[in-house]
Structure 1
């Protein structure tokens, strides 16, 4: 596993998670991802919620009503307890006609049921509205990310791993969605609950409220100290887990090589060493974070004892009623909960804003150069290609290609050869406008490629690459991908022209055979024939063949070569090849090194020159040695 893919996994990390998405009880102690510009990113994220201002006001109102109904219930329940206690005491004292007023208690119970139902109804409405707002907001964000990715140049994707881009487009957006839907309403509820509980406690007894408030800092001090210690262990746990995942993935990927070289024991030793580190860090992290709840329970219980003693004294002095003690204890239990939730939500919001920042970084990336205002089209492309004084470099101050001049006539077969890093694939990237040239011109039938729309330009070419791309569907659908609305007859004709029809019909379901996700249920050569059939069906004006036969056996290569010969008839073709036997009949062979065309001509002419190409060719067929190209 690459370092990058480890760094951009979903932001939960290992171990059990609390409601805040962290580790251990209540998510305390876990490292929290933070934004570089918290304030600016939060403001920008809020702008996505502005269209739903009325819905958010409705959420706030329903949250307040729902919480108020839930908060007043203990005080009302205390009235029933007081009435029950008074009736029992009067009976105990032998007061004539004394009885428990069950009718009054019944009314209280019905009132409580009504309040709880109303609280639940308003909570449901709140969640329903917020779910709609959250999903609409994230839908808009996903749409913008998708559209942005379509407008980004190839160099953006070349500079980043797939894992990083997927993490931002999927995991980070999902993190925002979860926070908007759950944590935002929870935050509102927690704040309202905290204010309401304090008001209700003060209305019962300011003295007992003071006792509860005094015990609160003890909880914070204990939690902060434990969280600080456990955070170091959680970081170690994350690091060890990343190393373990990387080791396991690496060992499985290279399983055969490990077996061949007899490195099983060494691999197991490495696994056990990393696993031991993960175990040590993991149990310490979980143990330390697990101490938070017992400590908080201990401190809270001390508070309850003090409240009960103070309440008992106040009852004997008739300063409060017995039911008020019951209500107050319920409020005391509720008091610490919203504070803890708010602390957790603060961590979640930190992580969410960091996720939003990563998403906004995609949205702020430099896009492809805009299309020409009056784009030109080739109604009847002939396939004439010219490179005029073309210069290009992947980095601003490092030039790879300088003053390149190439002229290709319609229908010619152009082979591009040279050592690794010579600039062969770069040439194709420039031709397709995956990268923009620094200076000069690339002309197709006399029209500058920058004056065409990219979609139209790329539609002129058909590509058959070394790495075949087939998707999880039928063989028919994979071939038909080459052209919208292709008929069954056209699909079969393309397969026949690519020498693929025979092997397709030998499969159990023929053209209806479903390829799995990796298309591993057919051979590499068969995959390549299907991609050629797809290119034949597309019927492009020009072709690009990039190492199309490099990963197949000799017999399959002959089949593929025949299919490609059929495909290239009458078309301008650009062939990148390392096997020089496949390009001996090319009209022009461009020999590249260090971004320059150092030799040009057909096979025979280049052999007679006895230069770089001759050495390259002889090194493959005669055991000769290549000269240093400088």
Structure 2
């Protein structure tokens, strides 16, 4: 975030102030140097040679300034992230009485920023004395040489005075350019950080010759798919299954079994390292990313809402949706009633991440968004996890009606929500351990029986992977 705010501000200042100042002052300096050369090229050479010795220290100051500016912006970015995390978790901070700890963390970071800003100020201030010393020396040498020439008749007093006047006038833009150089280094450091992000290629891109996905049946196939995260931890290994048209397949298993990884690979948030994933026989790597993701409606257990109106959040991804369609989606998600009670109804701003709503209300908005998209394939990552019992029943009924005529892949932490699934895949350690209907698995799968018992006691997310 800091690279898109503070760095851009420094780049803007460099362009609007530094570059315009450099152009103006450089042209003035060149014009005055031309006058000096016209008056006496010998004295001009002396002055330029002496001033040249000031260029190297100023250049070194610029390089040092760039390093300091880079460190400052990096520290400022860390501070921005630290503050964001603290504000997001303010309830946890208060609940654990950690206010003093967070204040001390902020104080230490601010001290580091102060030290960096102080160093930057010293570097910027160092350019002026160097240029002053060089300018004074140049004037002294010119007066000595010109005075000697005036005494011996090689030059006139008028020529000497006019040269000194032009030199003094050229000194001001030279000093200004030297000062702007250090500011320019700060802007260049910001530009480097900004373009490092801007030029970073997307990890997942369309293949050459990729074509739009055509969904006719909505069938999904995983064929010996493997994927592991950095370091070889987590992921899935040699996973194969087939989701028939208009059927519902549920994924169950302990945390880390690979359920979410399967959905991430299906949406191409990550690329499969082995095997193939197909939709209606089309390899997802051979179709455009936009058309692939347009075929899915996704409801995650991690609720994502934006600092916008209720209407905008429901219609997110469904540009051109009418008011009636938005309200109908909210009604199916059991959200219309509480939305109508908000201060401005569907025009109510819900704050960053929907902080003005309860957890259940936020989840129902995300479900309404998926309902409105009306995609041929549904991905549900425990979509009713944040709802109370009454709301869960209403939304579950709406989801079951929505799943009719659509291919659905469900991640379940409570087995009661997927008992009627056409097929349940039991994952363990990134592999499919068992598969079948609810009744079949209860009769034949020891792992599923254990998960079912844990469901009766609470939530299978607390389960440990079975060896």
TM-score (norm 1): 0.60
Q: CA deviation at 1:233?
A: 7.8
Q: Alignment partner for residue 577 of structure 1, among 412, 415, 419?
A: 412
Count of residue correspondences: 462
Larger Rg: 1
2:251: which partner in 1? 416
Q: CA deviation at 1:340?
A: 2.4
Alpha carbons 2:257, 2:428 under 8 Å: kept: yes
Alpha carbons of structure 1 residues 579 and 291: separation in structure 2 relative to 1, 3 Å: same
Q: CA deviation at 1:298?
A: 4.5
Q: Alignment partner for residue 331 of structure 1, among 152, 164, 167?
A: 167
Alpha carbons of structure 1 residues 212 and 408: separation in structure 2 relative to 1, 3 Å: closer
Q: CA deviation at 1:237?
A: 6.5
1:199: which partner in 2? 34
Alpha carbons 2:334, 2:391 under 8 Å: kept: no
1:493: which partner in 2? 328
Alpha carbons of structure 1 residues 431 and 245: separation in structure 2 relative to 1, 3 Å: closer
Alpha carbons 1:385, 1:444 under 8 Å: kept: yes
Q: CA deviation at 1:404?
A: 2.8
Alpha carbons of structure 1 residues 184 and 506: separation in structure 2 relative to 1, 3 Å: closer
Task: Report Cα offsets for 1:261-284 as digits up to 9, x if no partner.
Answer: 444445545555555555556546
SS in structure 2 at match of 1:362 = coil
Q: CA deviation at 1:591?
A: 1.0
1:562 aligns with 2:397: yes
1:297 aligns with 2:132: yes
Q: CA deviation at 1:196?
A: 4.1
1:88: which partner in 2? none
Alpha carbons 1:498, 1:563 under 8 Å: kept: yes
1:286 aligns with 2:125: no
Q: CA deviation at 1:465?
A: 1.9
Distance 1:312 1:292 in 2: 30
2:466: which partner in 1? 629
Distance 2:202 2:92 in 1: 43
1:548 aligns with 2:383: yes
Distance 1:526 1:340 in 2: 59
Alpha carbons 1:470, 1:519 under 8 Å: kept: yes
Query: Which deviates the most, 460-469 or 260-269?
Result: 260-269
1:74: which partner in 2? none
Query: Which deviates the most, 342-351 or 195-204?
Result: 342-351
Distance 1:172 1:289 in 2: 20
1:319 aligns with 2:165: no
2:208: which partner in 1? 370
Q: CA deviation at 1:581?
A: 3.1
Alpha carbons 1:413, 1:575 under 8 Å: kept: yes
1:617 aligns with 2:455: no
Alpha carbons of structure 1 residues 587 and 254: separation in structure 2 relative to 1, 3 Å: same
Q: CA deviation at 1:611?
A: 1.4
Distance 1:554 1:444 in 2: 35
Distance 2:286 2:62 in 1: 61
Q: CA deviation at 1:435?
A: 4.1
Q: CA deviation at 1:576?
A: 0.9
Alpha carbons 1:417, 1:589 under 8 Å: kept: yes
Alpha carbons 2:257, 2:427 under 8 Å: kept: yes
TM-score (norm 2): 0.77
Alpha carbons 2:335, 2:365 under 8 Å: kept: yes
Alpha carbons 1:482, 1:537 under 8 Å: kept: no
Alpha carbons 1:391, 1:439 under 8 Å: kept: yes
Q: CA deviation at 1:288?
A: 5.7
Task: Report Cα offsets for 1:381-410 as digits up to 9, x if no partner.
Answer: 444333344444557999954443323333
Alpha carbons of structure 1 residues 289 and 355: separation in structure 2 relative to 1, 3 Å: closer
Alpha carbons 2:329, 2:368 under 8 Å: kept: yes
Alpha carbons 1:580, 1:617 under 8 Å: kept: yes
Distance 1:512 1:238 in 2: 37
Alpha carbons of structure 1 residues 563 and 321: separation in structure 2 relative to 1, 3 Å: farther
Q: Give the 5 Å matches for 1:210-225.
A: 210-213=45-48, 215-216=50-51, 219-220=54-55
Distance 2:93 2:313 in 1: 36
Q: Alignment partner for residue 475 of structure 1, among 303, 310, 322?
A: 310
Alpha carbons of structure 1 residues 324 and 563: separation in structure 2 relative to 1, 3 Å: farther
- Structure 2: which 5+ runs fail to align? none
Q: CA deviation at 1:545?
A: 0.6
Q: CA deviation at 1:590?
A: 0.8
Q: CA deviation at 1:597?
A: 0.8
Measured on the aligned residues, the alpha-carbon RMSD in Å equals 4.5
